[in-house]
Amino acid sequence: MKYVSKVIKQDTLDYTKNLKMLKPDYVVHGDDWKYGIQKEIRKKVISTLSKWGGKLIEPKYTKDISSEKIRKEIINTGTTPDVRKSKLKRLLNAKPIVKILEAHSPISGLIIEKLSVIKKNKFLEFDGMWSSSLTDSILRGKPDNQSVDYSTRINWINEIFEVTTKPLIFDADNGGRVEHIKYLVNQLERIGVSAMIIEDKVGLKKNSLFKDQKGVEQDKIKNFTKKIQAAKKASVSDDFFVISRIESFILGKNLSDALKRAEAYSAAGSDAILIHSKEKDPKQIFEFAKKFSKSKFYIPMVCVPSTYSHVHESELIKHGFKIVIYANHMMRSSYPNMSNIAKKILLDKRTSKIEKKITSIKDILTLI
């Protein structure tokens, strides 16, 4: 831009810090912020400028132009597989932590796509979606034991991609046979998935959060690194991440086993490590993070705080985690609501009492 001589980063909605640094004579801003959420920010700008006699110039706001509208236009225009795929890498470079929420359907994907909140002058949104083997199975009334195959899940992702633009991370269980990984990576990359997570378990597939892990075994490091190498070799772009998931803590093994594996998986070419735990306390994964952050094999760390759910994102950032996956919450929130409403209709023999508890017909008609 010809007339711009310097660009200064502003990472909050509050202008005070930059204003104090620059002490400008004039601040120019569209007059739309006189109303609504930015009203308080405007007041602060005026009082800050008054300290050195600066002036606020407010050109009349052009009607019907808004960043929200531009965001909507982008969603409507859609994206390409390559653009979507590369987003995760760009987010990792730009954000203190990348926030991923589980999407098991196009409508849950749309919520993740559109939801944004402003809190304490910060713009909050989810960065992307998690395709969970657990909730993809539950959605179909099946257990999380790979009875829902990859093709079914990938077809469903295509439908989610039809109405969203944010990146998606795919839960690939243990990736299947090493000979087949190439084809899985090819399919995922082709549609624009940004990352695949493979776990180092073999044998009977059981969800990691089950207390009883009988019959489940951890893969040998040598075997699992072959899978990582096969996946990396198959991927056509540097934007596609192969993330290795370590199940040592899930299977009762210790920190040194987890670290040994993390270093080996990193050396084999993994782009990130998911360290999983089903403890109520994040101590275990924090100990891992402390050690692995100092390793020469360090690569970004991912966590899934399903059981240690009280942990705050700020603590995860402090311990060096770069991606947080909220792995099942959209499914877990819809199920009790559907069950309760169904029960109430059955008992009441009409729906008038629950009408206010559900989306109105008017809203559902105009939702999309």
Residue 117 · residue 77 · CB < 8 Å: no
Partner interacting with residue 247 (select from ligand SPV, Mg ion, none; CB below 5-8 Å by kind): none
Q: Is 239 a catalytic residue?
A: no
Residue 199 or 263: the one with the smaller Cβ distance to Mg ion is 199
Per CB under 6 A, does 108 bind ligand SPV? Answer: no
Number of chain positions touching ligand SPV (CB under 6 A): 12
Q: State the minimum distance, in angstroms, from the CB of residue 189 to ligand SPV.
A: 21
Among 306, 311, 319, 322, binds ligand SPV (CB under 6 A): 306
Looking at residue 272, the DSSP 8-state letter turns out to be E
Per CB under 6 A, does 207 bind ligand SPV? Answer: yes
Per CB under 6 A, does 131 bind ligand SPV? Answer: no
User: To 10 degrees, the CA torsion angle through 45, 46, 50, 55?
Assistant: 100
Q: State the minimum distance, in angstroms, from the CB of residue 222 to Mg ion.
A: 24
Per CB under 6 A, does 246 bind ligand SPV? Answer: no
Per CB under 6 A, does 213 bind ligand SPV? Answer: no
Q: Which long-range contacts link 79-84 to residues 24+ away (Cβ below 8 Å)?
A: 79/165, 79/192, 80/192, 81/189, 81/190, 81/191, 81/192, 82/192, 82/237, 82/239, 83/192, 84/161, 84/165, 84/166, 84/167, 84/168, 84/192, 84/194
Per-residue contact track with Mg ion, 158 to 177, x per CB under 5 A? -------------x------
Q: State the minimum distance, in angstroms, from the CB of residue 1 to ligand SPV.
A: 44
The β-bridge relationship of strands 201-203 and 98-102 is: unpaired
Residue 170 · residue 197 · CB < 8 Å: yes
Residue 91 or 169: the one with the smaller Cβ distance to ligand SPV is 169
In the chain, helix, strand, coil percent, each to 5? 45, 15, 40
Residue 144 or 200: the one with the smaller Cβ distance to ligand SPV is 144
Among 164, 208, 244, 270, binds ligand SPV (CB under 6 A): 208
Per CB under 6 A, does 133 bind ligand SPV? Answer: yes
Q: State the minimum distance, in angstroms, from the CB of residue 161 to ligand SPV.
A: 19
CA 278 to chain centroid, in Å, comes to: 20
Q: State the minimum distance, in angstroms, from the CB of residue 133 to Mg ion.
A: 3
Among 108, 133, 194, 218, binds Mg ion (CB under 5 A): 133
Partner interacting with residue 86 (select from ligand SPV, Mg ion, none; CB below 5-8 Å by kind): none
Per CB under 6 A, does 209 bind ligand SPV? Answer: yes
Q: Write the CA distances from 52 to 29, 45, 46, 345, integer angstroms.
A: 18, 12, 11, 65
CB atoms within 10 A of CB 48: 20
Looking at residue 355, the DSSP 8-state letter turns out to be G
Q: In whole angstroms, give the CA distance from residue 353 to residue 341.
A: 10
Per CB under 6 A, does 174 bind ligand SPV? Answer: no
Catalytic residues: 144
The residues binding Mg ion (CB under 5 A) are: 133, 171
